[in-house]
Structure 1
Amino acid sequence: MAIIRTTGSITQKQEAETAKQKAIDKLLLNPPQLPGIKLFTKPEPRFEHNLEQRYKFGYFFGVDNVSFSSRNINTTCGRVTDYIEIGNVESIQLESSYHLPDKASVEFSVIDQDVEIPIVPVGDSLVRNEKIFFGLPLRFSIDKTKPYIIKKDGVEVTMTPEAAINANDGLYTITYSPIGAYDYMPKNDRVKVKVIMRLYDKTSEPPFVQNALIRAYGGDALWKDRL
């Protein structure tokens, strides 16, 4: 009886090993499949002509979150018109529509051949914010019977025009009533108009001139407008 039980145990063990070996052989013969991978290839460029193929790389650069701490604008600019035909006249005046902020000035002149004559548009009772140049006279004679305002670097100061002309420690401007500033007797039959605009504070609103008109009197006509 004992021999029969031993033989049965060996037989079961052999069967188990045989089954295990068969399973291993099955795995070796049919291993698990890996996930499929699709390969993509970029098509090569085609050339219609017999040219050498080259590779080109493109780069794009950008700037993000930009802020400006200051702005630059022209503080002085000007323009000279073409010749304006006035004919043989006795005198001319200037009429103009323009915008003049508090921290700016607009200067008008008539150019008669090679002579430049400052002029004030009719209707303007004051020369406003004229820039004072060190050691140079004002553009017009000043009527000292009327009040005037002198500013240093935009701040009103108490001083005479002569003292401001001889001061060289800042930017001086003056607002005053001119004498003999509205009429000019031309020597030629055509003139030019010159306009200078100055801005004394870069953060302020700039001036601009909308139009300018020459009024001609006497001679060929008693009264004419010349653009």
Structure 2
Amino acid sequence: MHVLFVCNGNVCRSAIAERLTRAVAVEHRLFGLTAESAGTRALVGFPIEPLAAQAIVGLGGAAGDFAARRLRPEMIDRADLVLAMNRQLRDHCIESAWGAGPRTYTLLEAARIAKVTGARTIEELHRARNDLSMVGREGIADPVGLSAAAYCEVGDRIAEALVPLLLALAPVEQTHLSEGGPGLAIRPARGRAPLSTFLAAQRAVLH
């Protein structure tokens, strides 16, 4: 499953979501789960905003080797799931690529549908969408210009919505490592719980 995250500048919210998805894929060895991000008004070529990078590291992800990109229709075309940070961005994505509607949501919209209905595929998300008229009315606000604490709150809100959604929808392509072989791990930031602890808590909520 290839996920595209969309925000405005592609240096904060969508970048956090992209790097958290990559961390989840590593943590669970879900090699079929991939992610990218883009912005409708991207600061093209810029790295992740420093406070957003701190939020990513705090959640157990990696913030380096990143350059912001402007959203292009072909990005939407190749995504299995498009997750935008608010309704306006979602609607822009739907209007930018033919046939994108059934696989394009706000992050909070998709997370709530999956939680309420138990959807386990993107098709099931789409079938349930019209039955949940209140879904998708809130977005994740841009933290640009705010405090480090605000960035952490945005990161936590993205994680709380995204991680259960990924665990519900991502194809389980677990690869068993050979005996004695090297393992893949995410190193948690000092002072924060490891990503595996966060994921375990989310799995408990799901079940």
TM-score (norm 2): 0.23
- Pick the structure with more strand per residue: 1
Bigger relative CO (Cα 8 Å, ≥ 6 apart): 1
Name the larger-Rg structure: 1
Please identify which structure carries the higher helix content.
Answer: 2
